[in-house]
Amino acid sequence: MTQQKTILRALAGETLATPPIWMMRQAGRYLPEYKATRAQAGDFLSLCYNSELAAEVTLQPIRRYGFDAAIVFADILLLPQALGADLWFVTGEGPRLSTITTADELAALKPVEAIHDTLNPVYETVKILSRELPQETALIGFAGAPWTVATYMIAGQGTPAQGPAHALKAENRPLFEGIINLLTESTIAYLSRQIDAGAEVIKIFDSWAGSLEGDDFTEFSVKPMARITAALKERHPDVPVIVFARGAGPRFAGMHAATGAACIAIDEGVTAEWAAEHVQKDGCVQGNLASSHMVTGGQTLIDETRRICRAFSKGPHIFNLGHGITPDADPTNVQLMIDTVRSGA
């Protein structure tokens, strides 16, 4: 049955008449059923670490929409927490972390093999999902890419231009490289355990890759993702990897070869037509409808969805947004998008 799952077929390089579809952040704040479950959990981190409730919110968009894949509900900052960083969420403002800006603070973090004690609830969520998802629905595990996670660990929160991370990279490159190396090795261990628990696809999110310039983009976005992908391939040769270097622009070209990934997820910073010519020629692509259409809907949503499907129709394609759906999205627009894709747009 596994090989009949449409996303796995696309990731294996098959061109399908109707592209499989899932949506970044498909389990989340735009859905009333998610809000109810989060209220039951009490707070965001409690929801992430409650395996039964995390599985429930992962299943909610599958029940409502019938997406071709589910992505386990978790957060990219659970990994630095598992390494020993303090993590908390400020309502209306987002995550906060204790900072890692000195060699002593880096040395005080836990070794890679210790992360699983904290992350076991995530693996349990994956196990529940592997039992409860419909047979035709693929299960995606994920992690943040080392650069993106490092930006939060260094600044202690999200920052508009990742300035603190860039500053540390410039001022103390050995320390910065040490943070990246620790995150790379711990991400390999984390994702491998997700696969052991039942994840069939892995997604690596480098949400802030676009702020890296020149050789730094290669050194701190592409190469760490390539190391992770290669290690996972060695341990789990049949599990495909999707990488997402948000903001890469023209640098999306050649990323299949550079990272070893089966699929390159693209944002709306490049057109589907450009990506079909320069990226899809090397393998599967995922994307790239602007998430704003989930708010505005209407004929423009239909037209843009059809345009993207046409542009990618000659090669392997997974339909998705160019980034995560936003909390102000209208759930009826999600259904409209799915209906448009599946109507043979």
Where residue 4 falls among pLDDT bands split at 50, 70, 90? confident
Residue 91 burial by Cβ neighbours in a 10 Å radius (0-12, 13-18, 19+):
exposed
Q: State yes or no: pLDDT of 320 exceeds 70.
A: yes
| pLDDT score of 345 | 59
How many Cα atoms are found within 13 Å in the side-chain-facing hemisphere of 294?
A: 25
Give per-residue pLDDT as tens, 274-317.
Answer: 999 999 999 999 999 999 999 999 999 999 999 999 999 999 99
Nearest-angstrom CA–CA distance, 251 and 116: 34
Q: Which residue has the tokens 């759930």?
A: 331
pLDDT digits (tens, 9 = 90+) for 178-193: 999 999 999 999 999 9
Per-residue model confidence as pLDDT tens digits over 148-167: 999 999 999 999 999 999 99
Q: What is the pLDDT of residue 344?
A: 81
Q: pLDDT tens digits, residue range 10-46?
A: 999 999 999 999 999 999 999 999 999 999 999 999 9
Model confidence, pTM: 0.97
Q: Any long-range contacts for 42-45 (C-beta under 8 Å, 24+ apart)?
A: 43/89, 44/75, 44/89, 45/75, 45/87, 45/88, 45/89
Report the share of the chain in percent with pLDDT over 90.
Answer: 97
Over the Cα atoms of the chain, what is R_g? 19
pLDDT tens, residue by residue, 49-97 = 999 999 999 999 999 999 999 999 999 999 999 999 999 998 888 899 9
CATH of the domain at 323: 3.20.20.210
In the numeric block, the tokens 């499989």 are attached to: 20
Whether 102 has a pLDDT exceeding 60, the answer reads: yes
Residue 324 gets which letter from DSSP?
P
**Can you give the pLDDT at residue 1?**
42
Domain that holds residue 96: 2-342
pLDDT at 256: 98
* Domains held by the chain: number: 1
Catalytic sites, residue numbers: 25, 29, 38, 75, 152
